[in-house]
Copies of this chain bind each other. A is one copy, B any other.
Amino acid sequence: MDATVLHAPGDIRLEQVPDPQIMAPTDAVVRVVASCVCGSDLWPYRGISRVSRPRRIGHEFIGVVEEVGGEVSTVRPGDFVITPFLWSDNTCAHCTAGMQSACANGGGFGGPDRDGNMVDGCQGEYVRVPLADGTLVTTPGQPDEALLPSLLTLTDVMATGWHAAVSARVRPGATVVIVGDGAVGLCGVLSAAQQGAGRVIAMSRHADRQAVATEFGATDIVAERGPEGVARIMELTDGIGADAVLECVGTKESMEQAFASARPGSMVGFVGVPHGAEAPMGQMFNRNVGLAGGMAPVRGYLDELLPLVLEGQINPGRVFDSTVPLAQVADAYRAMDERAAIKVMLRP
């Protein structure tokens, strides 16, 4: 089959790799209907994360079950499934507490399973999914083509934006600031609005992203950054700061922006993979601003989010502004890297 391999920073290729096989009785093999490039894929692509050898890449996809192992009981060949970006047993103590992203037996796509066998990256034609019963969530029947973008966001970015809002403890009526206008930040805007925020302030300098933010429920857009951005937030909040802040980037600057925007007693919900971001201990202590978040427990949130998509209450698929054939995966990375696209869908 064809699958994407990152050889070195900037060197991404579609290559022939072995077709996946059931290797454990808890596996499923799923045919990819749509996958995509994640902002976090850009860290190794840009060489900010180390790439020591060629590696399979991609962790977001939806598809149709092709084959299941002997112990799989909740999905069958032909089922359309949503695949959280981490696989999990959904039965361990962490999973049952709703923290499936810390599953005692789980792992990520492109990495090893419990037996040491490599799991496929998701930017390909087929993927072997370990612990299928604990990981995959089926849709009722085959979804309409028009729903695919939104369903695909549920595998990561929408659930991650949701996690930022949950971690920041967004409350009905709250004033919420979202730092970051990538797909996750935009889904954070949608999540804050959906969770009842009264005022949703999106920080974005790009007209196309501002438009999506507004469509997703942003009541205010702040284009300024740094000290000017902080001054603007303070002006909008009568000098008080936001009740909740979503940090959806992971850099030093974005984390500083987040803490400077937060009122005393509030929380910063962070979901951007930390790359230089630090927690300002003194500021946190003196102003009682907390920090929580991390890798979203997607499997747990799907029970709540999938119905919202199926019923048309949210349309997070709007973050996809480009779709290309899998064969053009290198173009997709380039577009994301140059911010020419918000998020690119790949169709095998």
Contacts and interface: CB of A to CB of B under 8 A. Distances in A.
B265 A285 contact: no
B288 A295 contact: yes
A274 interface: yes
A292 B294 contact: no
Contacts of A293: 284-285, 288, 290
Contact of A279 (B94, B97, B281, B286): B281
Assembly of this chain: how many copies? 2
Interface stretch (A98-106, A131-139, A338-346): A98-106
A94 B240 contact: yes
Nearest to A240: B93
A278 interface: yes
A274 B285 contact: yes
A86 to B, nearest CB: 11
Contact of A97 (B102, B263, B284): B263
**Which of the four size classes fits the interface of chain A?**
35 or more
Contact of A274 (B98, B270, B281): B281
**Majority SS at the chain A contact face:** mixed
Contacts of A281: 274, 277-279
A229 interface: no
Interface string A244-281: 00000000000000000001110100100110011101
A238 interface: yes
A97 B243 CA distance: 10
B290 A285 contact: no
A282 interface: yes
A129 interface: no
A91 to B, nearest CB: 14
A261 to B, nearest CB: 15
A263 B294 CA distance: 13
Interface string A79-112: 0000000000000011001110110000000000
A167 interface: yes
Given A94-B240, A284-B291, A294-B285, A102 B279 contact: no
Which 10 pairs show the lowest CB-CB distances between chains A and B? A290-B292, A102-B264, A279-B279, A99-B265, A288-B294, A285-B294, A274-B281, A99-B264, A93-B240, A94-B264
14 contacts: A94-B263, A98-B265, A99-B263, A102-B264, A167-B288, A265-B297, A273-B285, A274-B285, A277-B281, A279-B291, A284-B293, A288-B293, A291-B291, A292-B292
Interface of A: 93-94, 97-99, 101-102, 167, 238, 240, 263-265, 267, 270, 273-274, 277-279, 281-282, 284-295, 297
